[in-house]
């Protein structure tokens, strides 16, 4: 079982789109995938038309394996299940603070309830918290979407700083440029600069800013299911190939 977190300490960078499309790519490749929506806003669940979980609330997420398992829903796609969010997920930090081993509770819960899966994706809320620390410890890989702008550059610096400060393994961080607009000089410059600064942290693949991805909200489905030949679909496939197999698409 492999745990892949999709995380960014900045909001609106394409986290959920990444989780949904990557999870779908892994399932299409024949893996059994569970996508856990840890963000109380429940956007991942929304994209798969799965209603928010009613009963998996409060601390049960970490304590009640049976409830956790029962809350899992099959998506409309072969090999891809979804754990929808619950609004009480916003209080995760409160529950965690009351628990012993509060930094490793998430991993424990995932291992107990997710044994049926080859890959578990975590769609994470955008902040630094006890939950994010749990995520950093639980995940084998942390996929970080970065919009090539000054503000994003700053938040990525903070994330790397946090890892250094807490002696977390920086090798887990797999950043990539998201919502890239190639015509913008700012984007080009920022990308070049950051690739120079964090040579090992950045994947070669980047995801373009396209209308097809924005339309996910209307279709409520992964991009490849309604725009199979689009640049966005190809980009997510390339991201999967690079993440999973280390293959960089030649373009």
Partner 1 sequence: MSQGTNGFFILPGGLDQAAFESALPNHSVDIQMGTAAPVLMLDCHDQSLRSSGRVLLENRGSLRLVSMQGQVSEQQARGKGQFVQNLPEGPVKAALSGFPTLRALTPIGTGEVEKGTLTILDDLEKTQVRGHILSLRTDRGQVAFVWLQNLRGYDRAFVSACESLEGMTSGGFDDLFDALFPDMMRYRAKPEIALGTQEPSLEVATDLIRTYLSVARQNEAGIVADIDTEFLHDYRVSLRRIRSVVSLFKGVFSDQQTAELKRVFSDLMAPTGRLRDLDVYLLEKDMYLRLVPENLHAGVQAMFDRFEQERARELSRLTRHLRSSAYEIAMTDLAQKFSTPEALMPGPSAERGAYSYACALIWKRYRKTCKLARSISEETPDQTVHDLRIDCKKLRYLMEFFGPLFNAKDFKTILKPLKKLQDNLGLFNDYSVQQEALLAFVSDQSTAQGRVDAQLGLAAGGLIAVLDQRQKAERARVISNFQHFDSPEIRHLFRSLFHHTKE
Closest approach, Cβ 77 to partner 1, in A, equals 9
Closest approach, Cβ 233 to partner 1, in A, equals 21
Mark the segment that binds partner 1 (CB under 8 A) among 35-43, 47-55, 134-142, 209-217.
47-55
Task: Return the residues of window 75-114 that contact partner 1 according to CB under 8 A.
Answer: 76, 81
**Helix/strand/coil for 171:** helix
CB of 34 or CB of 147, closer to partner 1: 34
Burial letters 165-180, b for 16+ CB under 10 A, else e: eeebeeebbbbbbbbb
Mark the segment that binds partner 1 (CB under 8 A) among 48-56, 58-66, 86-94, 236-244.
48-56
CB of 86 or CB of 190, closer to partner 1: 86
Closest approach, Cβ 74 to partner 1, in A, equals 4
CA 230 and chain centroid, separation: 22
- For 243, residues 6+ apart whose C-beta sits below 8 A from its C-beta are 4, 22, 141, 143, 174, 203
Look up residue 73 and give its DSSP letter: E
Q: Which of 54, 55, 70, 154 binds partner 1 (CB under 8 A)?
A: 70
Q: Confirm or reject binding of residue 50 to partner 1 (CB under 8 A).
A: yes
CB of 51 or CB of 193, closer to partner 1: 51
Mark the segment that binds partner 1 (CB under 8 A) among 9-17, 49-57, 95-103, 190-198.
49-57
CB of 70 or CB of 169, closer to partner 1: 70
Give the span between the Cα atoms of 125 and 114, in whole angstroms: 20
Task: Return the residues of window 180-239 that contact partner 1 according to CB under 8 A.
Answer: 220
CB of 84 or CB of 145, closer to partner 1: 84
Give the span between the Cα atoms of 16 and 78, in whole angstroms: 20
CB of 68 or CB of 240, closer to partner 1: 68
CA 59 and chain centroid, separation: 22
Q: Confirm or reject binding of residue 47 to partner 1 (CB under 8 A).
A: no
Look up residue 188 and give its DSSP letter: H
Q: 225, exposed or middle or buried, with CB in 10 Å at 0-12, 13-18, 19+? A: middle
CB atoms within 10 A of CB 146: 27
Q: Which of 11, 12, 55, 74 binds partner 1 (CB under 8 A)?
A: 74
Pairing of strands 80-83, 73-74: antiparallel
Which residues of the shown chain bind partner 1 in the complex (CB under 8 A)? 48-51, 70-74, 76, 81, 220
């Amino acid at each position: 079982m492999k745990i892949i977190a999709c995380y960014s300490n900045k909001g609106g960078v394409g986290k959920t789109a990444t989780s949904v499309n990557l999870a779908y790519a892994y399932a299409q490749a024949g893996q059994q995938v569970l996508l856990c929506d840890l963000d109380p806003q429940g956007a991942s669940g929304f994209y798969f038309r799965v209603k928010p979980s009613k009963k998996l609330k409060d601390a049960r997420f970490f304590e009640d394996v049976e409830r956790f398992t029962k809350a899992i829903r099959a998506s409309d796609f072969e090999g891809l299940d979804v754990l929808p969010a619950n609004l009480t997920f916003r209080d995760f930090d409160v529950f965690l603070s009351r628990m012993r081993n509060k930094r490793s509770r998430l991993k424990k819960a995932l291992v107990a309830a997710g044994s049926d899966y080859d890959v578990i994706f975590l769609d994470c809320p955008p902040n630094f918290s006890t939950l994010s620390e749990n995520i950093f410890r639980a995940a084998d890989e942390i996929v970080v979407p970065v919009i090539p702008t000054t503000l994003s550059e700053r938040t990525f610096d903070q994330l790397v700083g946090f890892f250094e400060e807490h002696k977390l393994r920086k090798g887990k961080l797999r950043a990539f440029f998201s919502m890239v607009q190639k015509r913008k000089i700012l984007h080009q410059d920022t990308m070049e600069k950051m690739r120079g600064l964090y040579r090992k942290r950045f994947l070669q693949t980047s995801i373009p800013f396209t209308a097809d991805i924005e339309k996910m909200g209307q279709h409520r489905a992964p991009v490849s299911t309604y725009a199979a030949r689009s640049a966005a679909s190809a980009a997510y496939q390339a991201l999967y190939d690079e993440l999973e197999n280390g293959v960089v698409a030649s373009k």
